[in-house]
Structure formats: C-alpha cells, structure tokens
Amino acid sequence: MEIKVRNIEKSYRSGTGRRKKILQGLDLDAAGGECIGIAGKNGCGKSTLLSVLAGVQKADAGSFLMDGTELFSRPRDLSRNVGLVPQAPALMDELSALDNLLMWYPKRDIIKELDSGVLGMLGIGDFLRTRVRNLSGGMKKRLSIGCVMHTMPPVLLLDEPCAALDLECRENILGYVRDYVSKGGLAVLTSHDPMELEICTRHYIMKDGRLSPYSYDGDVTKLVSSL
C-alpha cells in the first residue's frame, strides 16, 4: 500500500477577516511499513494536515491517492482507510469505555478484539467498565486509538500521541504504533517529542505550509534550529 499526497492547500479566515494559508502545495509520499514523523513550530499546520488527510476538514485543493485511488472524492473509502487519533480524545466522558467502543464497533467484534485483537493489545480490557471521565490521560489515548481502529485502517494518523503522558504510558502507546507499523501499517505522527520521533523511519519538518525532509539523528538542538 502506498499513498501520494499532492499539492494540498488549506487556508483559514483569520481574526482580522483575511485568509491565512496554512498548507501551500504540500506533497507527501509514503508506503505501508513506514512511520512518518512531522515536526514543526506551534501553529505551523501539522494538526490541520492530519485533519485534512483524515477527511475531518476539507482541503481547498489537492489530491490524496491510495494505491492510485483518489480518496478525497470518496469520503466512505477515506473514512475506512484512514484513522485519526486527535490530540484531545474525541470521547463521551459520561459513558464507559465499553459504551464509547460500542459507538464504533459491533458488540461481537469488541469481544473478539479484546480477546486477541487491537483492543486487547491496547489493554482496554482493564478499564472497560470505567467511565471515561474517571480514566487517566494515557487510558483515554489508548481508548481513542481503540475507537479509531474499528475499521483496521491501513493509514493511522496520530496528532502528538504522547503529549502530557508519563513515561510508562508513552512506552505503551509507542509500542502499539511500532507493532502497527511492523504489520504493514503506515503511521504518520506529528510531534515535538524526541521519544516519539525516534520510532519514526522518516522525518519531515513543516514550514511555510510545506514539508521538507529532515534527517533526525536524536540531536534536539539541531532539530530546534531547523524549525
């Protein structure tokens, strides 16, 4: 499986009423088994790029091809093939983890996935009956990933997946991403975190609405000066 993102453009109307271009002719090529890390300053458009690729926001221009099939014009295919884990988990706080999963999975699939699938791997069985409002940040993130994986999408987009999580939770989440990639999935994650960037096979820096390849060698100082 391979993806080709071409000439993506996206602009917002700013507070002053003028349109501000966030993405300007952005291109990206990637294939299954890769983990793409995107770094960049706050507000440079990383989250917007992931939202556009997941179909949560509409691109002003550009195309998103998966194995030659244009996905922007096929919302159903886009929704099935691309999963987005947003920075703030999109969950219902008053409901239990199980009830949140039931919004996305058929009941029988949850039992199967908890037993020997992605939900089991994420350890969601440990807090299945707990209300989301009582879960820790790490648990919410794992649940959020679990909800996204209901279609087993070949492309997983993660927006700062380990932000504000402790080391154990980070290792837990990143361990899952490594496993996902090793099984042929394509993960694209945005991050400021060296620990997250280390698991990526390729790195990009987002600047002026475009992606530039970057060779990350663990030197954070060098990375910061490149942003």
Binding interface with another protein (CB under 8 A): 12, 48, 51, 54-58, 75-76, 79, 84, 86, 88-95, 99-100, 102-104
CB of 92 to another protein, least distance (A): 6
CB of 189 to another protein, least distance (A): 18
Nearer to another protein, 103 or 224 (CB): 103
Nearer to another protein, 63 or 96 (CB): 96
Ramachandran region, residue 23 (left: φ > 0; alpha: ψ -120 to 50; beta: rest): beta
CB of 44 to another protein, least distance (A): 15
Give the number of other Cβ atoms within 10 Å of residue 11's Cβ.
16
CB of 190 to another protein, least distance (A): 16
Residues 133-137: contacts with CB under 8 Å, at least 24 apart: 133/93, 133/94, 135/97, 136/169, 137/164, 137/165, 137/169
Nearer to another protein, 93 or 198 (CB): 93
Q: For residue 3, what are the CA distances in angstroms to 22, 196, 212?
A: 21, 22, 17
B/e letters for 184-221, b = 16+ CB within 10 Å, e = fewer, are ebbbbbbbbbeebbebbebbbbbeebbbeebebeeeee
Strand, helix or coil for residue 164: coil
Nearer to another protein, 59 or 119 (CB): 59
Query: How far is the C-alpha of 181 from the C-alpha of 187, rounded, in Å?
Result: 7
CB of 90 to another protein, least distance (A): 4
Nearer to another protein, 140 or 203 (CB): 140
